[in-house]
Structure 1
Amino acid sequence: MTMFAQAIDTLLTEECSPALVRAVDNGGSPQILAITLAEAGFYELMASEESGGGAASWNELFEVVLLCGAHAIPLPLAQTIAARTITSTPDQLPAGLLTFAPSLARGLDGSVRAMHVPFARTASHVIAADESRLLVLSLGDADRLPGGLHGSLTESLVWHAGAGKQLAAVASDERFQALGALLHAGLLAGAMKRVFDLTMTYANQRVQFGKSIGKFQAIQHQLSVMAEHVAAARITAEAAFAAAEPLPPITACAVAKARTSEAAQLVASTAHALHGAIGVTEEYDLQLFTRRLHEWRIAHGSEAHWNRLLGRLFLGSKQLTSVEFVRSLFQAVQA
């Protein structure tokens, strides 16, 4: 574990308890956690040393994002950190927590609309790709429509014509969306590992017919399949974060989000099947993570969206087999 990961793990263990996550999910304020993270310097983790940042690499960011998922952090910390890498003028970014809009549309009256924005309820500003530029919009100026699901931090937002501040982008619209997907792939991988750990602990503690249910072969089979999906999700996310480019390649991001989103459904359903009724209770921590698995799965595109993109690339490639094609997607990462 890197120095940055150790520091964030300690901080989140102390400050981001399941009780806090429940409170925020139920409408409470995350302000104390946000201030603690800001004072610890985590917002500037990927900013240059010259500007007072940590100059962290994408490799180092991966473990931080993984831990954010493992602690079900109710703040867009990953997006706030990564925001410093997507503009050539990071000094013009507003203070506070920043989240990424999956899409941006303009109404006939010039209004700006961003639908299903992750972490909108706890962010201060939204960053959206506006053709070749970035648009930074204040949540304080938006008309907000809650996601409608219990505990959801996602909101749809509308701003009046002319709202927002433009920044110079260093990434295309497509790459910006891929980056948002990759950050959620890391969050999913971390949350899935936590769900697996909770399920393993429960299976070893729950006794039925004189022995723990984890000793029954049928349960062991389900746990082993679950473990395979958790491992595959982490591997694909970690490979995409290990990019040698200034920003991770779109193809690697697509593989990571497609694989983690696919695994999220199976991991969540298996966990609840093995836990039984206790898994959905408010007092038990499992539902804090499985709710996020379902929500993060569709954020910035589900597996269907990214598999479609990869399919088109494969059909247009010169690779003879799917294995060769997948290997080619990560060649830039391994360089």
Structure 2
Amino acid sequence: MTDSLLDGFERPLRELCTVEALRRIEAGEGAGALWAQIDALGYTDALMPAELGGAGLALADTHPLFFAAGRAGLSLPFAETAVARALLASAGHQPGGGCIVIAAAAMTDGDAVICHDVQDAALSEFVLVSRTGEWLLLPRAAAEFVPGAYRPALSADTLRWSDAGHAVFRFPVQGADGVVIHNALQAAAMAGTMARVTDLTVLYANDRKQFGRAIGKFQAVQQDIAVLASQAATAEMASRLGCASAGPLPDPLLAATAMLRACEAAARVASIAHAVHGAIGMTEEHELGLFTRRLHESRSAGAHVRCAATLGREVLARRGMPVVDFVRTHLAAAA
């Protein structure tokens, strides 16, 4: 993506996603007005085919947009809406202008459609759910909503529809399902969030003075910040890997790799950032919590465990192949 195209998204995003605006959305206010302004920028249709009114970009091209949204702290599901619109448009359905989150249905014996740990679900108009080989476009308002622990006004611990008949549109899953898409997009958002946490930590370390000098001048603090920055950087590189696709859908193994690295990095980034900030970083008044809370929420769903299991099964299925060769031939080569 050219710098000018990215700048056309980042500049208005910085102006719209002020700390005050983010706090209002966390409290469940003002999301509709903010989404109207974000959607009006036109980037939400970047993945839609050009013949259907989009820009026809590949997922790899749009990674900088998803990263920028995470860095800005945008709670609205921008990346998921962009992918969902591309899928729906290609299937012959007019997606409309509202937010859409992407999820995977849990395995159940009955007719109910149940999704767990759906971030930013309260901000969405629809949920695009992958279930037993097909996509279901379900209205979020028709679901039973159990709030999540970290951001109860925005995210759902559980969404439950009584049956699949609530779907307003359904079509076959071709390629990546809800789990794979979530891994790739969430990794990009988390990487952007970690970049913002790094910026806040460096700024605070340079401003906060102790014993007559900035705490960022102390070697122990410098060491911590170096570790934090390296973790954030590897998460960004992994998120690029997760979105390294010439089409609108990610590769399952690359997406799992990206999410695993993002979750591992997020734990250390959040911990070090709060250690450097001290008690002030835990207060409601400081903006750090807006970003670290999102990192903890993303990790709490256990995606890193599932991603590690996915990669482990692939390695074990290739008996006798060294792990280094697996990475070289099935991960790096694919990217």
Q: Normalization by structure 1: what TM-score? A: 0.92
Change in Cα spacing, 1:197 to 1:42, as seen in structure 2 (3 Å) is same
1:68 aligns with 2:72: no
CA contact (8 A) 2:264 2:304 kept: yes
Judged with a 3 Å threshold, the aligned counterparts in structure 2 of structure 1 residues 106 and 320 are, in CA distance, closer, same or farther, namely: closer
Indicate the residue corresponding to 1:40 in structure 2: 41
Helix, strand or coil at the partner of 2:122: coil
Q: Which residue of 2 aligns with 1:303?
A: 304
Conserved in 1, the CA contact under 8 Å of 2:228 and 2:269? yes
Q: Let me know the Cα RMSD of the aligned residues.
A: 2.0
Counterpart of 1:52?
Answer: 53
2:189 counterpart of 1:163: no
CA contact (8 A) 2:60 2:246 kept: no
Quick check: 1:186–1:237 contact (8 Å CA) kept in 2? Answer: yes
Amino acid at match of 2:155: T
Residue 139 (1) aligns with residue 140 (2): yes
The worse-fitting range, judged by mean Cα deviation, of 281-290 and 250-259 is 281-290
Of 275, 278, 283, which aligns to 1:276?
278
Deviation at 1:180, TM superposition (A): 0.9
8 Å contact kept, 1:59–1:242: yes
1:103 is aligned, of 105, 125, 128, to: 105
Residues 206-249 of structure 1 deviation map (CA, whole Å, 9 limit, x = unaligned): 11112111111111111111111111101111122122455221
Contact 2:67 2:192 in 1 (8 A): yes
Instruction: Pick which of 92-101 and 256-265 moved more.
Output: 92-101
CA distance change for structure 1 residues 235 and 286 in 2, over 3 Å: closer, same or farther? same
Paired residues of 1:104 and 1:128 also in contact (CA < 8 A)? no
* Count of residue pairs the alignment pairs up: 331
The one-letter code matched in structure 2 to 1:327 is R
Percent identity over the alignment? Answer: 33
Instruction: Write the letter of the residue equivalent to 1:158.
Output: R
Aligned residues of 2:28 and 2:154 also touching (Cα < 8 A):
no
Deviation of the 1:150 alpha carbon:
4.3
Structure 1 portions without partners, runs of 5+: none
Tell me by how many angstroms 1:23 deviates: 0.6
Residue equivalent to 1:29: 30
Partner of 2:200: 198
Aligned to 2:268: 266
Question: Is residue 28–residue 153 contact of structure 2 (8 Å, CA) maintained in 1?
Answer: no
**Displacement of 1:316:** 1.5
Aligned AA (1:310): L
Equivalent in the alignment of 2:249: 247
| Residues 4 and 64, structure 1, Cα contact 8 Å, conserved in 2 | no
Deviation, 1:282, is: 1.6
Q: Per-residue CA shift, 1:275-327, capped at 9, x if unaligned?
A: 0011111221111100011112245x422211111111111125643222112
Superposed displacement of residue 47, structure 1: 0.9
The residue type equivalent to 2:209 in the other structure is V
Indicate if the aligned counterparts of 2:259 and 2:303 stay in contact, CA closer than 8 A. Answer: yes
Return closer, same or farther for 1:55/1:9 CA change in 2, 3 Å cut-off. Answer: same
1:170 is displaced (CA, Å) by 4.5
Deviation at 1:38, TM superposition (A): 2.2
The 1-side partners of 2:13 and 2:36 are apart by: 13
- Please list every run of 5 or more consecutive structure 2 residues that lacks an aligned counterpart in the other structure: none
The answer to whether 1:211 aligns with 2:213 is: yes
Q: Is the 8 A contact 1:178 1:250 kept in 2?
A: yes
Asked whether 1:233 is paired with 2:268, we answer no
Q: For the residues of structure 2 that align with 1:121 and 1:8, how far apart are their CA atoms?
A: 24
Say which is worse superposed, 111-120 or 271-280, in terms of deviation.
111-120
Q: 1:254 corresponds to which letter in structure 2?
A: A
Alignment check: 8 A CA contact 1:2 1:60 kept: no
Residues 202-211 or 160-169, more deviating: 160-169
Amino acid corresponding to residue 168 of structure 2 in structure 1: K
TM-score by length of 2: 0.92
Runs of 4+ residues over 6 Å off in structure 1: none
